[in-house]
Amino acid sequence: MSKPKVLVARAIFPETIERLAQHFEVESNQADEAWSKAQLIEKLQGKVGVFTTGSERIDAELLAACPDLKICANMAVGYNNFDTEAMTAHGVLGTNAPDVLTETTADFGFALLMATARRIAESEHFLRAGKWQKWAYDMFSGSDIHGSTLGIIGMGRIGQGIARRGAHGFGMKVVYHNRSRLDAALEAECKASYVGKEELLKTADHVVLVVPYTPASHHTIGAAEIALMKPTATLVNIARGGIVDDAALAVALKEKRIAAAGLDVFEGEPKVHPDLLTVPNVVLTPHIASATVPTRKAMADLAVDNLIGYLVNGKPLTPVNPAVLAKN
């Protein structure tokens, strides 16, 4: 019997392809070519599954043109590249890759916070440029992390990981804002207090964004929100591009309305707002918060487990639109 056909949309670990090949006829993109939507649609003809990385848009137009497709397995916890409503309407299951990246991503969120508050990237550029001639009392003075107030917007698993690091490791006072309040036991474990968004923005010394991207969370932080923040505050976005109004942030950084920002995600990435590239008080990284070898392997494995789980055993591990399963 011939194997079901799946497509891997981006370059990935060779062992990921090998695992898939045990169950499926696999077409891959190990050359990591940038496929247009039309090319992706063409490649998906006859495929029942696709391994995506979070950058391939799965929408109504694509679904209508790919009638064989049954599952899109994202190697990412975020799945704003999926139009889940259209997928459910077409009976196509989406899966994501939660949990396996939580601690790695929380580590990175904290690293970016520290690099931002302590001006690590800016001072390193200064040194590399040969500008360090003498020590000075005020050279690259940043803001303290220990004992300061950490404000977390989006208190899912990664937000909680950042809260634990801040509260337990650095003695920070942690406040958070989320769609729903955590239960008391989890709040106690994270040593975090629930506050309104406005209060968080006004009181936090460091604001970290870990909220999923949805139309409702678009520009959670824009000029009005930045205006509420302390002039000494820092802002870190490890969530998604579009959560922050990057143009407004660039203006605020230039005018020192807040002290600094750390950004791992950008509106329209991999493009970066040109004004962000010219301001010194921002640390910019290319969407690498989950990028350690073990974690990226675990994410790829989970996407493969979902493809096998659904297409071979009828049981996906981490569905994002389980309504499709109820329909079957």
* Residue number with CB closer to ligand GLV (24 or 79): 79
Residue 256 CA to residue 279 CA, distance in Å, equals 10
Report if residue 52 touches ligand GLV, rule: CB under 6 A.
Answer: no
Type and span of the H or E element at 261: strand 260-263
Interface size with ligand GLV, residues (CB under 6 A): 6
DSSP per residue, 58-87: B-HHHHHH-TT--EEEESSS--TTB-HHHH
Contacts of 1 (CB under 8 A, 6+ apart): none
Residue 33 CA to residue 140 CA, distance in Å, equals 42
Q: Provide, rounded to whole angstroms, the least separation between the CB of residue 232 and ligand GLV.
A: 29
| Window 235-254: residues binding ligand GLV (CB under 6 A) | none
Report if residue 54 touches ligand GLV, rule: CB under 6 A.
Answer: yes
Report if residue 290 touches ligand GLV, rule: CB under 6 A.
Answer: yes
Here's the x/- map for ligand GLV, 153-192, by CB under 6 A: it reads as ----------------------------------------
Q: Which two tokens stand for residue 143?
A: 């803001």
**Structure-token match 């979070």, residue found:** 54
| Window 82-101: residues binding ligand GLV (CB under 6 A) | 101
Q: Provide, rounded to whole angstroms, the least separation between the CB of residue 259 and ligand GLV.
A: 25
Report if residue 77 touches ligand GLV, rule: CB under 6 A.
Answer: yes
* Residue number with CB closer to ligand GLV (196 or 286): 286
User: Where does residue 125 fall: left (phi above 0), alpha (psi -120 to 50 degrees), or beta otherwise?
Assistant: alpha
Q: Provide, rounded to whole angstroms, the least separation between the CB of residue 60 and ligand GLV.
A: 22
Catalytic positions, please? 240, 269, 287
Q: Which two tokens stand for residue 239?
A: 């969530």
Kindly tell me which residue out of 20, 73, 76, 111 binds ligand GLV, with binding defined by CB under 6 A. 76
Q: Contact region for ligand GLV (CB under 6 A) — 75-83, 129-137, 179-187, 224-232?
A: 75-83
Backbone angles phi, psi at 178, to 5 degrees: -155, 160
Residue 4 CA to residue 60 CA, distance in Å, equals 23
DSSP tag of 190: H
Residue 281 CA to residue 234 CA, distance in Å, equals 10
* Residue number with CB closer to ligand GLV (283 or 289): 289
Residue 321 CA to residue 328 CA, distance in Å, equals 13
CB 17 within 8 A of CB 8: yes
Q: Contact region for ligand GLV (CB under 6 A) — 38-46, 76-84, 150-158, 196-204?
A: 76-84
* 7: Cα separation from own chain's centroid: 23
| Window 12-51: residues binding ligand GLV (CB under 6 A) | none
Report if residue 212 touches ligand GLV, rule: CB under 6 A.
Answer: no
Q: Provide, rounded to whole angstroms, the least separation between the CB of residue 37 and ligand GLV.
A: 21
Please, what's the b/e burial string for 254-266 (b: 16 or more CB within 10 A of its CB; e: otherwise)? Answer: eeebbbbbbbbbb
Q: Contact region for ligand GLV (CB under 6 A) — 35-43, 70-78, 161-169, 219-227?
A: 70-78
Q: For binding to ligand GLV (CB under 6 A), which residues are involved?
A: 54, 76-78, 101, 290
